[in-house]
């Protein structure tokens, strides 16, 4: 851009220097007057009747649409040098030179092919030295009331001033183009319509400036340049359109209706279209139309400005300041047209006002961007709803303390009623409520808190999550001090706030973790505090300190959940068998299948730990499917050795409702030619509570296949035998907790005896689990218990060991003496 500006300037310079040679002359006296004879002249004539300028300059008033004739005579004293008669072109008007021949007739200079360079930019006529004629006539006209400056100057001066003028115009135009192109390209790249609007506006202004000043004279032929001047109306339309878009996109914080906003865009579009149409049709827009467009644009801008929020006041003032120079120019122009005279030479004033407008506009864009960045940065650190510092601010503060290796305590709290306030009173009130409460909390903490706990400095409240808030307590703090903080916090929340006629009282969950005691990094500290916050409250405890054990278990749970996914594929599961002995015959009755998981990283994981996880994560179905398939395949092998062997399989409560399980059982029973009556499904007593009819239906499904059902862990739930009998079952397994210490607990003895009796009366068999010694074995035998299972008989065994155990038992004559061995 600068390059072309420089090029145009150089070109201009070269042209002028080639055509003319500079000559220096001392100015003397000039004769400058309007000529007689033409009635149209009278207006101009009045101003100059026989006037003789004794100065180098004069200002001519040009009435609207009337040609003003000037007769310019170069004084004798300048006869020997090259002299220029320069006449300023009035706004959007023209200047034509006529040379008076010796016969007193006038010839248009353009027809005489005598150089009258830059007819639009700087109309002038050059007198070569020793030319016979020293008189030139000029016809000045303008569609508006305007003024024109007339000057007779030595050629060298003219060249100098013209070059200087050209240089500044080029610079002005170049800078405007440069900035507008920068804005436009940034707008395109960053997809910011507001910048596109400013870019478009600046570009239209730059082109309007060029057209208005006739600057195109320098680069294109004078005729084309004159044609280009006609586009100035179009450029004005464009600038008005983009100006409206500027207001629309830069000032968005307004309460204007959607329709109005689209209306603005529509009008802006229409302005641009009018501009294009005028350019294509090559017509000048009527003055009335232009004025209406300007007035509409000003009114719309004013409405947009007036509708801005208070928070936008600065932008509004800035916009008013930016456009006031333009409005001043317009008012000045309008005034001159209505009063029908311009006495003052206002073009320099106007140029300065436009330059001021552009500078202000640029400053605004820069300021606006900086402001936006400041707001972004602010909201990167502060919560919009409550104006509290946010998560990132909290992490920043914690990281700083960590860096300095300062001990600190993170206290998280969760107002429990917040979600229901939102539901009942709406978001706005909830936020107002929070803000009000937190103001209170902040004050309390900083007055009582600092006195009681001697925590120096301002204690901030951060918003960590939607409902979780945080306080960072600096320095070493005792548990009792944390307690005090919790008290302060709770009391504010319990005090409540009034809403309409309701007092909203809130209670808190609080979780606390300490650096470096519970965590050595900021991230871990926040995690620990969150874990503490989410610990279930027991016996009215108000707050929780981070607890290593409970967190480890939750971390381990997460790990196990993810490891479980690949456990089946990677064959990490195996089945163990725990024998059950018939207490009447002393022979093996069957065995319970128990799953084992050997995880390569974590080692052996007990089923009590992973089965509940598999249940809650929905992975249990796959596991049960695998267990059932394996167990039944083993059963097929075992029955070859012990044909009456009953296999017991544990089924989770969740599996029961799935049809697929019974289908799988039927398929496998058929495939492996198994006796369904030798398959026992164990379901725990706790599963049987509730929806009796549904459960009965499910169990009936299994029994219709011929498969038997056992109630596991009997005695741990709250169901009565009477209830269970309605469901129908084949076997009752007394929980090992009643059996393991049967020798020492009288009550357990009673329970076991009664259970056996009642189960028998209902026609069911009884299994005692957890038989750990010979005495329990004999006692249960005496109670009439049917089967025994427990470490006394055997621990759960891998399949091969189980088979060899079976062989040994079968060959033994007396089972008791075999087991005691
Ligand atoms: P459960 O069904 O009550 O299984 C009996 C548990 O008691 C087994 O623990 C067994 O090793 C243990 N046990 C047996 N005799 C004695 C004894 O004399 N003394 C003591 N102290 N314990 C004894 P295990 O194998 O750790 O299984 C624990 C629980 O995991 C099972 O309790 C069962 O609820 C569940 N489980 C095991 N395998 C599976 C399975 O394949 N599927 C499902 N859904 N659950 C299973
Ligand atoms: Ca069981
Ligand atoms: Ca059990």
Confidence of residue 777 (pLDDT cuts 50, 70, 90): very high
**What is the rounded average pLDDT of the residues 122-146?**
78
Confidence of residue 130 (pLDDT cuts 50, 70, 90): confident
Residue 350 lies in a domain: yes
429 and 301 in a single domain? The answer is no
The token duo for 371 is 């402001």
Residue 236 lies in a domain: yes
Q: Where is the domain boundary, 513, 546, 579?
A: 546
Most confident of 42-51, 190-199, 715-724: 190-199
Determine whether 423 is exposed, middle or buried from the number of CB atoms within 10 Å of its CB (0-12, 13-18, 19+): exposed
Confidence of residue 484 (pLDDT cuts 50, 70, 90): confident
> Does residue 332 carry a pLDDT above 90?
no
Determine whether 262 is exposed, middle or buried from the number of CB atoms within 10 Å of its CB (0-12, 13-18, 19+): exposed
pLDDT at 103: 62
**What is the rounded average pLDDT of the residues 386-410?**
90
Angle at 41 between CA 39 and CA 45, to 5 degrees: 125
Residue 5 lies in a domain: no
Ligand 1 in contact with 648 (CB < 6 A)?
no
Confidence of residue 398 (pLDDT cuts 50, 70, 90): very high
Most confident of 382-386, 388-392, 670-674: 670-674
669 Cα–ligand 1 center, Å: 25
pLDDT at 734: 95
**What is the rounded average pLDDT of the residues 109-113?**
57
* 8 A C-beta contact, residue 494 and residue 506: yes
Ligand 1 in contact with 596 (CB < 6 A)?
no
> What 3 state SS string does 443-496 have?
HHHHHHHHHHHCCCCCCCEEECCCCCEEEEEECCCCHHHHHHHHHHHHHHHHHC
491 and 517 in a single domain? The answer is yes
Ligand 1 in contact with 594 (CB < 6 A)?
yes
pLDDT at 533: 87
611-615, 633-637, 714-718, range with the lowest pLDDT: 714-718
pLDDT at 761: 92
Task: Compare 403 and 80 and report the one with higher pLDDT.
Answer: 403
Instruction: Report the alpha-carbon distance of residue 632 to residue 782 in Å, rounded.
Output: 33
The token duo for 89 is 């072109």
* 8 A C-beta contact, residue 408 and residue 401: yes
Instruction: Report the alpha-carbon distance of residue 356 to residue 604 in Å, rounded.
Output: 81
72: which residues sit within 8 A by CB, 6+ positions away?
A: 30, 31, 32, 85, 135, 136, 137, 138, 150, 152
Ligand 1 in contact with 773 (CB < 6 A)?
no
593 Cα–ligand 1 center, Å: 9
Ligand 1 in contact with 531 (CB < 6 A)?
no
736 Cα–ligand 3 center, Å: 7
Cβ burial 792-805 (10 Å sphere, 16+ → b, else e) = bbbebbeeeebbeb
Residue 1 lies in a domain: no
Nearest to 796 by CA among 641, 610, 594, 603: 594
* 8 A C-beta contact, residue 153 and residue 56: yes
Q: What's the CATH number where 66 sits? A: 2.60.40.2380
Q: What's the CATH number where 515 sits? A: 3.30.70.270
**What is the rounded average pLDDT of the residues 24-39?**
32
Most confident of 80-84, 128-132, 466-470: 466-470
> What 3 state SS string does 359-424 have?
HHHHHHHHHHHHHHHHHHHHHHHECCCCCCEEHHHHHHHHHHHHHCCCCEEEEEEEECCHHHHHHH
Position in ligand 1 atom list of the atom nearest CA 791: 18
Q: Which residues pair with 471 in a beta bridge?
A: 411, 461
> Does residue 219 carry a pLDDT above 90?
no
Q: Where is the domain boundary, 484, 519, 546?
A: 546
Nearest to 469 by CA among 437, 424, 514, 503: 437
Ligand 1 in contact with 736 (CB < 6 A)?
yes
Strands 708-714 and 731-734: parallel
**What is the rounded average pLDDT of the residues 177-205?**
92
562 Cα–ligand 3 center, Å: 27
Residue 372 lies in a domain: yes
Instruction: Report the alpha-carbon distance of residue 715 to residue 719 in Å, rounded.
Output: 8
**What is the rounded average pLDDT of the residues 167-188?**
91
478 and 407 in a single domain? The answer is yes
Ligand 1 in contact with 595 (CB < 6 A)?
yes
Q: Which residues pair with 57 in a beta bridge?
A: 151
Ligand 1 in contact with 607 (CB < 6 A)?
yes
Ligand 1 in contact with 650 (CB < 6 A)?
yes
Task: Compare 265 and 44 and report the one with higher pLDDT.
Answer: 265
Q: Which residue range(s) make up the domain with 454?
A: 391-546
Instruction: Report the alpha-carbon distance of residue 187 to residue 180 in Å, rounded.
Output: 10
652 Cα–ligand 3 center, Å: 12
Ligand 1 in contact with 733 (CB < 6 A)?
no
Ligand 1 in contact with 790 (CB < 6 A)?
yes
* Chain position carrying tokens 């709250």: 718
Which residue's C-alpha comes closest to atom 23 of ligand 1?
770
Q: How far is CA 430 from the centre of its chain?
A: 22
* Tens digits of residue pLDDT in 805-818: 999 998 887 888 88
Instruction: Report the alpha-carbon distance of residue 639 to residue 631 in Å, rounded.
Output: 12
pLDDT at 154: 85
Confidence of residue 653 (pLDDT cuts 50, 70, 90): confident
Task: Compare 495 and 187 and report the one with higher pLDDT.
Answer: 187
Phi/psi of residue 67, nearest 5 degrees: -75, 135
* Tens digits of residue pLDDT in 405-433: 888 999 998 887 777 778 887 888 777 77
pLDDT at 241: 94
* 8 A C-beta contact, residue 611 and residue 652: yes
Q: How many CB atoms lie within 10 A of CB 309?
A: 12
Residue 383 lies in a domain: no
* Tens digits of residue pLDDT in 576-585: 999 999 999 9
**What is the rounded average pLDDT of the residues 508-531?**
88
> What 3 state SS string does 42-108 have?
HHHHHHHCCCCCCCCEEEEEECCCCCEEEEEECCHHHCCCCEEEEECCCCCCEEEEEEECCCCCEEE
* pTM assigned to the model: 0.54
- CA quadruple 755, 761, 767, 771: dihedral positive or negative? positive
> Does residue 318 carry a pLDDT above 50?
yes
321 and 402 in a single domain? The answer is no
DSSP summary character for residue 37? S
pLDDT at 497: 67
Q: Where is the domain boundary, 511, 546, 581?
A: 546
Confidence of residue 673 (pLDDT cuts 50, 70, 90): very high
> Does residue 41 carry a pLDDT above 90?
no
DSSP summary character for residue 132? S
> Does residue 30 carry a pLDDT above 60?
no
531 and 598 in a single domain? The answer is no
153 and 169 in a single domain? The answer is no
* Tens digits of residue pLDDT in 221-242: 777 887 888 888 899 999 999 9
Confidence of residue 336 (pLDDT cuts 50, 70, 90): confident
* Tens digits of residue pLDDT in 290-301: 889 989 998 988
Angle at 217 between CA 216 and CA 221, to 5 degrees: 105
Percent of the chain with pLDDT over 70: 84
680 and 803 in a single domain? The answer is yes
142-151, 381-390, 598-607, range with the lowest pLDDT: 142-151
* 8 A C-beta contact, residue 99 and residue 107: yes
351 and 489 in a single domain? The answer is no
Got the DSSP string for 587-655?
Answer: SEEEEEEEEEEEETTTEEE-HHHHHHHHHHHT-HHHHHHHHHHHHHHHHHHHHHHSTTPEEEEE--HHH
* Tens digits of residue pLDDT in 553-572: 777 888 899 999 899 889 99
The token duo for 426 is 């709406």
**What is the rounded average pLDDT of the residues 365-385?**
86
Confidence of residue 449 (pLDDT cuts 50, 70, 90): low
Task: Compare 302 and 455 and report the one with higher pLDDT.
Answer: 302
pLDDT at 577: 98
Confidence of residue 63 (pLDDT cuts 50, 70, 90): confident
* Chain position carrying tokens 């100006």: 243
724 and 612 in a single domain? The answer is yes
Residue 9 lies in a domain: no
The token duo for 43 is 């207006």
594 Cα–ligand 1 center, Å: 6
**What is the rounded average pLDDT of the residues 440-444?**
80
**What is the rounded average pLDDT of the residues 234-259?**
83
* Ligand 1 site-directed mutation target among 769, 771, 792, most atoms within 8 Å of CB: 769
Mean pLDDT, the chain, whole residue set: 82
109 and 192 in a single domain? The answer is no
396 and 358 in a single domain? The answer is no
pLDDT at 798: 97
Instruction: Report the alpha-carbon distance of residue 565 to residue 262 in Å, rounded.
Output: 55
**What is the rounded average pLDDT of the residues 45-68?**
57
* 8 A C-beta contact, residue 591 and residue 612: no
Instruction: Report the alpha-carbon distance of residue 478 to residue 406 in Å, rounded.
Output: 15
Residue 11 lies in a domain: no
Q: How many domains does the chain have?
A: 4
**What is the rounded average pLDDT of the residues 525-535?**
87
Ligand 1 in contact with 770 (CB < 6 A)?
yes
> Does residue 342 carry a pLDDT above 70?
no
* Chain position carrying tokens 């929806």: 691
Task: Compare 493 and 468 and report the one with higher pLDDT.
Answer: 468
Percent of the chain with pLDDT over 90: 33
pLDDT at 710: 95
Confidence of residue 33 (pLDDT cuts 50, 70, 90): very low
* Tens digits of residue pLDDT in 454-482: 555 677 889 998 889 999 988 887 777 88
* Ligand 1 site-directed mutation target among 650, 715, 767, 799, most atoms within 8 Å of CB: 650
Ligand 1 in contact with 440 (CB < 6 A)?
no
Task: Compare 37 and 398 and report the one with higher pLDDT.
Answer: 398
33 and 132 in a single domain? The answer is yes
> Does residue 451 carry a pLDDT above 70?
no
Q: How many CA atoms lie within 13 A of 335 on its CB side?
A: 10
Got the DSSP string for 689-750?
Answer: SS-HHHHHHHHHHHHHHT-EEEEEEETSSS--HHHHHHH--SEEEE-HHHHTTTTT-HHHHH
Instruction: Report the alpha-carbon distance of residue 580 to residue 557 in Å, rounded.
Output: 33
Got the DSSP string for 307-332?
Answer: TB-GGGHHHHHHHHHHHHHHHHHHHH
774 Cα–ligand 3 center, Å: 20
> Does residue 15 carry a pLDDT above 50?
no
Q: Where are the beta strands (DSSP E) in 226-275?
A: none
């Amino acid at each position: 851009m600068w390059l072309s500006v420089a090029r145009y300037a150089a070109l201009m310079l070269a042209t002028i220097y080639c055509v003319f040679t500079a000559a220096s002359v001392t100015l003397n006296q000039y004769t400058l007057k309007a000529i007689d004879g033409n009635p149209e002249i009278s207006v101009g004539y009045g101003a100059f009747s026989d006037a003789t300028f004794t100065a180098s300059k004069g200002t001519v008033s040009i009435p609207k649409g009337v040609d003003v004739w000037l007769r310019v005579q170069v004084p004798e004293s300048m006869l020997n040098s090259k002299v220029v008669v320069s006449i300023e072109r009035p706004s959007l008007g023209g200047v034509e030179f006529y040379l008076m021949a010796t016969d007193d007739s006038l010839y248009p200079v353009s027809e005489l092919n005598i150089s009258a360079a830059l007819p639009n930019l700087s109309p002038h006529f050059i007198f070569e030295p020793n030319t016979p004629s020293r008189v030139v006539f000029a016809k000045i006209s303008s569609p508006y009331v305007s003024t024109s400056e007339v000057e007779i100057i030595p050629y060298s001066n003219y060249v100098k001033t013209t070059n200087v003028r050209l240089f500044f115009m080029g610079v002005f135009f170049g800078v405007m183009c440069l900035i507008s192109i920068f804005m436009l390209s940034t707008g395109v790249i960053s997809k910011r319509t507001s910048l596109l609007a400013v870019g478009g506006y600046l570009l239209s202004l730059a082109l309007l400036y060029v057209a208005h000043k006739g600057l195109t004279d320098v680069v294109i032929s004078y005729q084309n340049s004159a044609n280009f001047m006609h586009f100035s109306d179009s450029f004005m339309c464009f600038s008005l359109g983009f100006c409206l878009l500027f207001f629309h996109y830069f000032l968005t914080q307004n309460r204007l209706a959607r329709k109005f906003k689209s209306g603005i865009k529509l009008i802006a579009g229409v302005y641009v279209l009018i501009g294009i149409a005028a350019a294509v049709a090559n017509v000048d827009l009527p003055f009335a139309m232009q004025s209406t467009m300007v007035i509409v644009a000003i009114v719309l801008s004013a409405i947009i400005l007036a509708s801005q929020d208070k928070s936008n006041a600065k932008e509004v003032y800035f916009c008013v300041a930016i456009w006031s120079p333009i409005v001043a120019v317009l008012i000045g122009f309008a005034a001159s047209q209505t009063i029908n005279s311009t006495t003052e030479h206002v073009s320099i004033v106007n140029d300065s006002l436009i330059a001021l407008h552009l500078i202000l506009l640029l400053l605004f864009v820069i300021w606006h961007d900086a402001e936006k960045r400041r707001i972004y940065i602010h909201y990167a650190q502060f919560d919009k709803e409550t104006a509290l510092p946010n998560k990132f601010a909290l992490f920043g503060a914690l990281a700083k303390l960590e860096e300095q290796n300062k001990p600190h305590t993170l206290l998280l709290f969760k107002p429990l009623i917040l979600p229901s306030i939102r539901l009942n009173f709406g978001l706005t009130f909830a936020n107002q409520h929070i803000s009000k409460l937190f103001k209170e909390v902040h004050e309390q903490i900083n007055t009582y808190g600092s006195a009681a706990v001697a925590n120096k400095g301002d204690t901030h409240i951060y918003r960590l999550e939607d409902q979780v808030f945080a306080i960072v307590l600096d320095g070493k703090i005792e548990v009792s001090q944390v307690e005090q903080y919790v008290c302060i916090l709770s009391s504010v929340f319990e005090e409540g706030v009034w809403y309409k006629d309701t007092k909203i009282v809130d209670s808190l969950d609080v979780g606390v973790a300490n650096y470096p005691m519970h965590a050595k990094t900021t991230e871990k500290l926040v995690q620990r505090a969150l874990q503490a916050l989410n610990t279930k409250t027991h016996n009215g405890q108000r707050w929780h300190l981070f607890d290593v054990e409970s967190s480890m278990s939750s971390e381990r749970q997460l790990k196990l959940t993810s490891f479980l996914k690949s456990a089946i594929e990677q064959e990490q599961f195996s089945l163990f068998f725990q024998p059950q002995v018939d207490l009447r015959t002393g022979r093996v009755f069957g065995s319970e299948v128990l799953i084992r998981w050997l995880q390569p990283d974590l080692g052996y994981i007990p089923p009590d730990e992973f089965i509940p996880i598999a249940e809650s994560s929905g992975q249990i179905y796959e596991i049960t499917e695998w267990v059932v398939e394996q167990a039944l395949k083993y059963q097929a092998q075992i029955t070859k050795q012990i044909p009456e062997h009953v296999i017991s399989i544990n089924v989770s409560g969740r599996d029961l409702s799935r049809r697929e399980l019974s289908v799988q059982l039927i398929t496998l029973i058929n495939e492996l030619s198994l006796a369904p009556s030798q398959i026992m499904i164990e379901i725990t007593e706790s599963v049987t509570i509730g929806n009796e009819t549904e459960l009965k239906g499910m169990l009936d499904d299994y029994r219709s296949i011929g498969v038997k059902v056992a109630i596991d862990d009997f005695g741990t739930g709250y169901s009565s035998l009477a209830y269970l009998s309605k469901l129908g079952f084949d076997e009752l397994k007394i929980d090992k907790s009643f059996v393991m210490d049967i020798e020492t607990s009288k009550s357990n003895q009673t329970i076991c005896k009664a259970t056996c009796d009642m189960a028998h009366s209902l026609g069911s068999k009884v299994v005692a689990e957890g038989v750990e010694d010979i005495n329990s074995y004999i006692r249960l035998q005496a109670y009439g218990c049917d089967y025994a299972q427990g470490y006394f008989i055997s621990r759960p065994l891998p399949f091969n060991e189980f088979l060899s155990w079976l062989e040994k038992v079968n060959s033994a004559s007396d089972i008791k003496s075999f087991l005691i061995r």
